């Protein structure tokens, strides 16, 4: 036994994780042992959430991410409805955001700078001259501390130190995933800081509720409760405006097949490589009881509803997937195989005073909630 493997065995024994061998299968077919490793003295693992209906969600503490969601169709058949990989090694070896918690700040902060209380902070650029998704590495590449609260809930925690990727303040972050008996994946985020800072956290699952991750979402029906969206300039940076969706391919106030207008010669669609990668301004006004968006798959009967207290919803239709990432069951995820529904504040809010503030100060508590409710139409 080499030194590294010896250390891993000691850590697993101390954590009580040995005994989950290759026969430890989840409903999704994932092996718990394939998610147990050690990096920099910290352990990764796979955690299984179940409800009384037999629904299952698998979570890893690498990136505080969802790895699989087994949801029933109208005939009661459960299928995995999110992109991902079958082992922790693949998550670590390939840069992606499948199922991750994104932070400190989802989306772009332009020119990787912002000014708060007359202090200008210079962030680590990772998208040209801009900082995106909190810089590199962001929260998606961190190993979080995990505490399984009960069979249907897990709490993951991470301390982002002062100056990490240029952000000020020691930020103490937690996310709780809870699988309810109403077939909801209820996600709550909390954070506190010891210096004024900015925070914008979100969940980044790639959903295909048909259960066919080798197919596309073009025939799925999308509804978004939003009359406006945040357009980009020619460099795909938000302009700070709210543009009306009426009369554009961005109008989903009446449910519409997602692929019906993706290929139109529209400047905003072209900026997103022929699809959607834009933030919608929700009409829900922070009321988590009001429907923010839904996706319906006619063939399976599955419907996914989104509820949130956030003002925005980033809709991304996975134009960047081109068969280069091979995931669960050997599927090479094709273009438009999934949709991301990221509840959030708007991109570049620290530099756009007309947008709702993302400032968090000492003594305050950051709180964000996103609910993904899975159902069926008979």
Taking only the tens of pLDDT, the chain with its 378 residues reads 443 444 444 344 334 343 334 446 799 999 999 999 999 899 999 999 999 999 999 999 999 999 999 999 999 999 999 999 999 999 999 989 999 999 999 999 999 999 999 999 999 999 999 999 999 999 999 999 999 999 999 999 999 999 999 999 999 999 999 999 999 999 999 999 999 999 999 999 999 999 999 999 999 999 999 999 999 999 999 999 999 999 999 999 999 999 999 999 999 999 999 999 999 999 999 999 999 999 999 999 999 999 999 999 999 999 999 999 999 999 999 999 999 999 999 999 999 999 999 999 999 999 999 999 999 999
Q: Which of 204, 220, 305, 310 is an active site residue?
A: 204
* Distance of alpha carbon 259 from alpha carbon 103, whole angstroms: 30
DSSP 3-state of 88: helix
DSSP 156-193: EEEEE-TTGGG--S-EEEEEEEEE-TTSEEEEEEEEEE
pLDDT at residue 40, as a whole number? 86
Quote the CA–CA distance of 30 and 67 in Å, as a whole number.
Answer: 9
Cα–Cα distance for residue pair 67/83, rounded to 1 Å: 8
pLDDT for res 25: 75
Place of tokens 């352990």: 43
What is the rounded distance in angstroms from the CA atom of residue 289 to the CA atom of residue 195? 32
Inter-CA distances, 349 with 57, 148, 355, Å: 32, 34, 6
pLDDT for residue 296 = 98
Indicate if 305 belongs to the active site.
no
pLDDT at residue number 101: 98
Q: What is the pTM of this model?
A: 0.93
Domain boundaries, the chain: 24-376
CA 89 to chain centre: 20
Q: Phi first, then psi: what are they for 260, rounded to 5°?
A: -65, -25
DSSP-derived letter for residue 35 is G
What fold characterizes domain 24-376? Beta-galactosidase; Chain A, domain 5 (2.70.98)
Is residue 203 part of the annotated active site? The answer reads: no
Cα 268 to Cα 274: distance, rounded to the nearest angstrom: 9
The Cβ-side half-sphere exposure at 108, using a 13 Å CA radius, reads 20
Q: Which candidate in 79, 164, 310, 342 is catalytic?
A: 342
Distances in whole angstroms, Cα of residue 52 to Cα of each of 46, 56, 184, 315: 20, 10, 12, 31
Q: Is 264 helix (H, G, I), strand (E, B) or coil?
A: coil
């Amino acid at each position: 036994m080499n030194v590294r493997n010896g250390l891993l065995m000691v850590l697993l024994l101390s954590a009580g994780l040995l005994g989950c061998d290759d026969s430890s299968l989840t409903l999704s077919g994932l092996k718990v042992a394939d998610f147990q490793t050690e990096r920099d003295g910290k352990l990764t693992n796979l955690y299984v959430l179940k409800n009384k209906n037999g629904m299952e969600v698998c979570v890893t503490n690498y990136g505080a991410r969802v790895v699989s969601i087994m949801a029933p169709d109208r005939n009661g058949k459960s299928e995995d409805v999110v992109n991902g990989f079958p082992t922790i090694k693949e998550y670590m070896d390939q840069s992606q955001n499948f199922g991750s918690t994104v932070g400190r700040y989802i989306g772009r902060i332009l020119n990787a700078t912002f000014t708060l209380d007359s202090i200008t902070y210079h962030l680590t650029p990772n998208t040209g001259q801009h900082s995106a998704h909190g810089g590199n590495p962001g929260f998606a590449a961190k190993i979080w501390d995990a505490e399984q609260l009960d069979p249907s809930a897990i709490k993951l925690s991470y301390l982002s130190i002062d100056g990490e990727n240029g952000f000020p303040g020691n930020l103490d972050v937690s996310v709780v995933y809870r699988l309810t008996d109403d077939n909801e994946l209820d996600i709550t985020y909390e954070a506190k800081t010891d210096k004024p800072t900015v925070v914008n956290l979100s969940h980044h699952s790639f959903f295909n509720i048909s259960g066919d991750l080798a197919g596309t979402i073009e025939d799925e029906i999308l509804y978004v409760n939003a009359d406006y969206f945040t357009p980009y300039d020619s460099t795909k940076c938000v302009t700070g405006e709210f543009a009306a969706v009426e009369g554009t391919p961005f109008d989903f106030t009446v449910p519409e097949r997602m692929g019906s207008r993706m290929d139109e010669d529209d400047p905003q669609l072209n900026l997103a490589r022929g699809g959607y990668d834009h933030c919608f301004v929700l009409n829900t006004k922070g009321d988590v009881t009001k429907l923010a968006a839904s996706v319906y798959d006619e063939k399976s009967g599955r419907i996914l509803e989104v509820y949130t207290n956030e003002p925005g919803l980033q809709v991304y239709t996975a134009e960047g997937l081109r068969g280069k990432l091979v995931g669960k069951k050997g599927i090479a995820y094709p273009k438009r195989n999934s949709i991301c529904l990221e509840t959030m504040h708007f991109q570049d809010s620290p530099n756009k005073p007309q947008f709702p503030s993302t400032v968090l100060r000492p003594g305050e508590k950051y709180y964000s909630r996103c609910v993904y409710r899975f159902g069926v139409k008979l």
